Amino acid sequence: MKFNAVKINNDRRRKVEINGFGIPFGGLGTGYGVFGRYGFLRENFNSTPDVAPALYPACGEEFWQYNDNPAFAAPYAFILKVDGKEYVLQEQKLEWLPQAKPVKKVEVEAEMPKGYFRFRGIPGVEVKMTAFSPLIPGDISESNIPVQVFDFELKNTGKIAKNIELQLRHRFLTWINGTDRKFNVASGPWSIYNDLHGQAAFQIVGGEGTNRGAALKLDVAAGKNVPSRALLAWHYPYFKTPSPCDRNMYRRYYTLRFAHVLDVLEYAAGNADKWSAAIDRWHDSYNVPGAFSRLWFSSLSSIVTGTMMADTGEYFEIETPHYWINTMDVSVYTSWCVMVNWPELERKDMEQYYSAIHTSGELAGFVWHSLWDDASHYEEEPTFMLRVLRDLVWLRDRDFVKAVWPTLVMVMERVLRNCTPEGLICSPHGNQSYDAWKMPGISAYVNSAWVYALHAFEQAAKIVGMPETILGRSASELCRKAAAALDKLLWNEKNGSWNCFDPQGIETENVGESIFLEQMFGRWALAEVADTKELFDVDRMKRMLQTLHSNNLIEDEGRFRGWSNGMLPGGKPDMCSYHAKTCWMCSQLNLGSLLGLFGDEDKSLDVFASIEMSLGANILAVGEWNQAVDAKKRPVTLPEEPGKDTARFPSYPRYKSAWEWLPRLLGMKLDFDSFYFQPFRKIDFELNDITLGGSVFSISVEKGWTKCLVNGKPVSGDVVKLSRDVKKYKLSFVK
């Protein structure tokens, strides 16, 4: 069957000027600021990531669009003074700098965690800037430094020398460094803005501190290019999460290293070149089609804008714009970003969840939807168990899982006690992560998770040497019985897929026969676990994926190509519920991933390329990308949640599930002792010194490969098996 696939765009960077605001800079849970065509638009150094539970979802566009909303302007600006005239390096005039003229154009390109800027329209001067904050894979401490670095190139394009002054200016008065030696820093003069909660520090290397920030005066000869570096550091020691269920006050993780903002400034001045080179190496280590690297690295915007870290080890991911923290149904997707780049954070998240599970009373074994908050009536226990096995094989922490095994047993027992006689979950609420789209009765979403959770419990028990029994019954037998019952109840031979749900007599307006994009969510969650059994007929799985790819597709040529969460048979929009007709990124990414897992690389790559093409310049601020389908099968902005289709910050966290595609392209699976690789054959790509599952890999893949060399030696077989006890490999897949 022919289909019109989207061609992968190979540009590594993405121009983002049409976003309206720019790029976020900050570290893991440090707070952040945004810089772009309208200058500093968002300073969020001393608050939680943006939430608006009182306004959401019925909020006006002004909440989501920061570009011309004064409430979101930050009290910082870059000024360039040329021959006595002042220019503010942004496209919009600042009311607190009336004498400064905005530039005509700010051109922006994103390659997170770096941003590249060109400022047009200053007579006789060419201005370029590279901005970044340190995000270094594998190094949590070095990725947790509250600073933004701005590297300028100022070129005099005129025929005579020019007097140029670069200023990093604050709206209010700042304190200039004095003569007391304890306040001096080796990197030079500075100034500080103080408020009740902390400080921000300003420095331009080689310049001076001023009572409004920092400045550098230069005499630039005709035709000469002069570099300069500006630093904006901050130090706000305390935070609370936005959750009303978490009243604790925490100290920020970076306070373990930095007692004062000048400590940050000093360290940044001495290490910025090292960070810049490390970020460039990180980018260069992924020689993959541009669509992949752009989406992977751009999703770091969600790490910057949506996380908080405490000095006692807590790691919080905020499901912005909601106030929920460490949400189980979201983290199962987003954690792929940290599993690849900072796997310790996945461990921290799961440790927090274990500690929150009650071990006695009515709530024994209950898994929170969000930590300490369960207003949504989700069944999170199956998803939790899926993460347990996935993390066990990825992180190889047998002792930890063995220590919490009694809690895991309680989690599984809690679900089983409430199952039907056939061993399936029947939900009276029908709220299974798709919120407004209720799936009452027995749904494919929660029950595919439950069936594979039973399998995950069985596999985890083998790894840690514990009994695989739940309420005295074999998990493997329970799994087989539940899978058969689900298959019999929901498989629709005519449609070639499993129905979304069977209402089991529960009154509902939603359509159970709707074709649901994540009907095999449980299988996706264990896609990288090598011992995962095919619990459903493989031919049916493949047919289901083809049905989803064709039936749920909506497109507007050149603008949007995506897959709706739900669609009625025959490709008719399911208009019963607004979350049925939306195109969530995680659902689409999972469809593409499973297509690849079951051998259809063409359609798999089509899904990824289509998503990335559709996002366009919104890639850094995707929200939940609730593009939807109307009754005539046209892609439209979702009327019920228009804000989620606008370019905004912070990025909705499920965006980070794009990182699961790294092991997918590699055909990578793991068990506790071995790696297995069977890469895609449809594209060329190369990875250099990438850490996955505890080992470092350099992998080159030639399109149409037929054999593999491991550390230069040929190996036999279509699937390459490697010991996990070896910590470095070089793999070459060649024709």
For residue 443, give the H/E element and its range: strand 442-443
The single-letter code of the amino acid at 275 is W
Of all residues in the chain, the percent with pLDDT exceeding 90 is: 78
Average pLDDT, the chain: 91
Largest CA distance in the chain: 88
- The whole-number pLDDT of residue 51 equals 57
Q: Tell me the per-residue pLDDT of 666-702, one tens digit each, with 9 for 90 and over.
A: 999 999 999 999 999 999 999 999 999 999 999 999 9
Looking at residue 54, its pLDDT comes to 45
Residue 584 · residue 536 · CB < 8 Å: no
Q: What is the pLDDT of residues 414-460, one digit of tens each?
A: 999 999 999 999 999 888 889 899 999 999 999 999 999 999 999 99
Beta 85-88 vs 76-82: how paired, if at all? antiparallel
How far does CA 679 lie from the centroid of its chain?
A: 24
Determine which of 221-230, 369-378, 496-505 has the lowest per-residue pLDDT on average: 369-378
- State residue 147's pLDDT score: 98
Mean predicted confidence (pLDDT) in 514-536: 98
Are 91 and 78 in contact, with CB atoms under 8 Å apart? no
Cα 96 off chain centre by:
35
Say yes or no to pLDDT of 179 above 50: no
Which one, of 255, 399, 277, 278, lies nearest residue 341 by Cα?
A: 278
> Is the CA virtual torsion 181, 182, 184, 186 positive or negative?
positive
Please name the helix (run of DSSP H) or strand (run of DSSP E) that holds residue 324, with its range, or none: none
Question: Is residue 82 predicted with pLDDT exceeding 80?
Answer: yes
Q: Which helix (H) or strand (E) holds 462?
A: helix 444-464
Q: Which two tokens stand for residue 69?
A: 């909303």
Q: With a cut of 80, say whether residue 11 has pLDDT above it.
A: no
pLDDT tens, residue by residue, 701-728:
999 999 999 999 999 899 999 999 999 9
Alpha carbon 280 to its chain centroid, in Å, reads: 20
pLDDT, one tens digit per residue, over 609-618 is 999 888 877 7
Q: What is the pLDDT of residue 65?
A: 54
The burial class, CB within 10 Å (0-12 / 13-18 / 19+), for 557 is exposed
Instruction: Tell me what the mean pLDDT of segment 474-488 comes to.
Output: 98
- Does the structure show a pLDDT above 80 at 619? no
In this structure, what token pair is assigned to residue 389? 């096995």
Q: Model-level pTM?
A: 0.94
Q: What share of the chain is helix, strand, coil (3-state, %, to 5)?
A: 30, 25, 40
Q: Which amino acid is at 440?
A: P
Rounded mean pLDDT of 35-57? Answer: 71
- Three-state DSSP class for 254? helix
Bridge partners of residue 699, in order along the sequence: 687, 731
Distance, in Å, from the CA atom of 44 to the CA atom of 86, rounded to the nearest integer, reads 27
Q: Cα 520 to the chain's mean position, in Å?
A: 22
SS3 60: coil
- Domains of the chain, earliest start first: 14-281 (2.70.98), 318-665 (1.50.10.10), 673-734 (no CATH)
